[in-house]
Amino acid sequence: MPDQDPIDKLSRFGAGFSSGTGGDMPLSAADVRRRGDQIRRRRTALVAGASALAVAAVAVPIFAVVGGNPKAGENDKVADDPQGALSTNDLLRDDDTEYFPNEKSAFRTVDTYEGDGQATFHPCQQATLASLGATTSFTRTFEYVVQLEAGDTAPPDAAGDGLVETVAEFEDDDDARAAYDTFAGWILDCESRLGDFERVNVVPQARAVALPAGAGDAKIYDLNWGPVEKSVDPYGDASYINETGLVLRGDRIAVVGLTIVGQDYNFLEEDGGTPVNRMVPVAADRLRPGGDTPAQPSETLTEPASTVDPAIADDFPLSAGWPADDGSDVTAEGPNRTLPPLLLNVCDADVEDAPAPQDRLVATWSQPEDYRTRQLSTYASEDQAAAALGAVVSAYRDCPEEPSSPEGYVAHHVAIQSAAGDESWVVGTYSTFDGADAIGIEVIHLIRIGTALLVITGSNEGSAPEPESTFLAAGDQMANEASNVVSELCAFTEPGC
């Protein structure tokens, strides 16, 4: 069938566009250059005044800073740095800051202070950190270093943008975890605090950040609101765009918030992602106990390149262990690369399939009331595989309860660490109706070995009167059923099989 020769068709397609028959250019080259000049000017529009973030706090109309912790001393004088205690050494330094990739020292310190200060440091903050149990905290605000080029004029001052970091220490790990979760909740609830703006958008799904083993947990939330003041953008197109990184390390947390004024905020994954994406690993490193000792240079956080070949063999036994298709009511598909990837949806948001896998196989098996899927993804590094796992776990952990369905059913999610592979979690979903257990559970077992992430899903008409034990048992059963698959994942480790 020469007409169906894909190479010929692809080549003719390319030639068609090369010959200029592929559509007009909607903008002239001069228009595109003008647009480029706007982008470049906006790059310099990250001007922050001496108290930019404090101004941001004032700009948010309904702040209520409440509470106080008698254990926490609060003053404006920065304390000395006793050995091992939280100190200003645990904050990001100017050299650590970036906006564009590799643009070191993009921000410079405006102020550093101890305690909760006179204003909230984040627009979504609902109470002082002391009221959450912080025994010590430090905050540093930064301003963007404007680099004007010949012919540029300084952009208008945009109050409310800039970079701020707060680090805090708690009595114990549990208190720190609770504060970390509470701050995440404040961000997700931020729409109510920014209600006077015409448009407010909080992305409900946090982005996972890959940290070196033992460096703690981290995630990033995105939100934007606008319009900004007319003196900055008379056309009303620009918004405040904020990304906030949360880091939990033992009994300490860090909050890294970056707010810009603009219309878009796109950074390439291959360049390290967004500015906060690039700064959070450094913040996590600074946060480690023993802040008096010099922090590791950020180069040590660079993800080592994996030498593991990410290609999955076409005959990889992904469906091994599933009951044979006896020709009755079983439907089995795959493993192959054409089945759609798993699309997980939690609290009305799709779980981001990131980082992008290098290769992926999917297989499904189903009988009435029994649906099973296995998805094997490989990544460029172990850290990326861990981040992909973390993204799923965080999504479910951040949404313990779904909104009630119109019929009155409420889905509940539970995430429990399990013991398989290098790292594994069982995520379970069960439902209640009017407070009583309803029929139907879903279980996801995520198992990472090396650069590979195996996701096994199953659902049936059972119930989960004791969710943790029920889901752990179901997860164990799924892992046992897939034992021949798991044992093959050694191919994606540095030592190999």
Contact partners, residue 451, CB within 8 Å, separation at least 6: 306, 308, 310, 378, 379, 380, 381, 382, 384, 385, 492, 493
What is the rounded CA–CA span in Å between residue 296 and residue 293? Answer: 9
Least distance (Å) from another protein to the CB of residue 268? 5
Would you tell me how many other CB atoms lie within 10 Å of the CB of residue 112? 14
Question: Least distance (Å) from another protein to the CB of residue 160?
Answer: 15
Kindly tell me which of 233 and 481 has the beta carbon lying closer to another protein. 233
Identify the burial level of 347 via C-beta atoms within 10 angstroms of its C-beta, where 0-12 means exposed, 13-18 middle and 19 or more buried: middle
Amino acid identity, residue 429?
T
Nearer to another protein, 327 or 340 (CB): 340
Q: What is the largest CA-CA distance in the chain?
A: 82
> Helix (H, G, I), strand (E, B), or coil: what is residue 449?
strand
Q: Which is nearer to another protein, 5 or 172 (CB)?
A: 5
Q: How far is the CB of 176 from another protein (least distance, A)?
A: 29
Smallest distance from the beta carbon of 184 to another protein, in angstroms? Answer: 17
Contact footprint for another protein (CB under 8 A): 1, 4-7, 9-14, 16-18, 20-27, 29-30, 32-33, 35-40, 43, 199, 201, 203-205, 224, 226, 237-239, 241, 262-264, 266, 268-270, 309-311, 337-338, 340-343, 348-350, 352-353, 358-360, 380
Q: How far is the CB of 396 from another protein (least distance, A)?
A: 17
Q: Residue 400 corresponds to which tokens in the numbers above?
A: 């313990």
Is residue 201 within 8 Å of residue 223, measured between CB atoms? yes
As measured in angstroms, the least distance from the Cβ of 54 to another protein is 25
Which one, 22 or 84, has the nearer CB to another protein? Answer: 22
Distances (CA, A) of 1 to 7, 10, 16: 12, 15, 21
Give least dist CB 446 to another protein, A.
17
Nearer to another protein among residue 11 and residue 105 (C-beta): 11
Strand partners, 455: 375, 446
Q: Can you give the length of the chain in residues?
A: 497
Show Cβ contacts of residue 55 under 8 Å, excluding neighbours closer than 6 positions.
49, 159, 160
Q: How far is the CB of 9 from another protein (least distance, A)?
A: 5
| Nearest approach, Cβ of residue 41 and another protein (Å) | 9
Closest distance of CB 239 from another protein, Å:
5
φ/ψ (deg, to 5) at 456: -115, 125
Cis geometry, peptide bond prior to residue 355 (ω within 30 degrees of 0): yes
Peptide bond into 335 cis (omega under 30): yes
Closer by beta carbon to another protein, 391 or else 464: 391
Q: Which is nearer to another protein, 13 or 477 (CB)?
A: 13
Question: Least distance from C-beta 194 to another protein, angstroms?
Answer: 14
- Report the Cα 3 to chain-centroid distance in Å: 46
The count of C-alpha atoms lying within 13 angstroms of the C-alpha of 486, restricted to the half-sphere facing its C-beta, is 21
Q: Using the minimum distance from each CB to another protein, give the nearer residue, 247 or 380.
A: 380
In the bound state with another protein, the residue whose beta carbon lies nearer, of 39 and 439, is: 39
By beta-carbon proximity to another protein, the closer residue of 37 and 369 is 37
Query: What is the helix (H) or strand (E) element at residue 187, kind and residue range?
Result: helix 173-188
**What string of DSSP letters covers 17-46?**
HHTT-S---SS-HHHHHHHHHHHHHHHT--
379: closest CA among 360, 357, 398?
A: 357
- Residues with Cβ within 8 Å of residue 416, at least 6 apart in sequence: 425, 426, 427, 428, 468, 471, 472, 475
Question: Do the bridges between strand 345-346 and strand 349-350 make them parallel or antiparallel, or are there none, so unpaired?
Answer: antiparallel
Which of 4/83 has CB closer to another protein? 4
Q: How far is the CB of 484 from another protein (least distance, A)?
A: 23
Comparing CB distances to another protein, the nearer of 175 and 233 is: 233
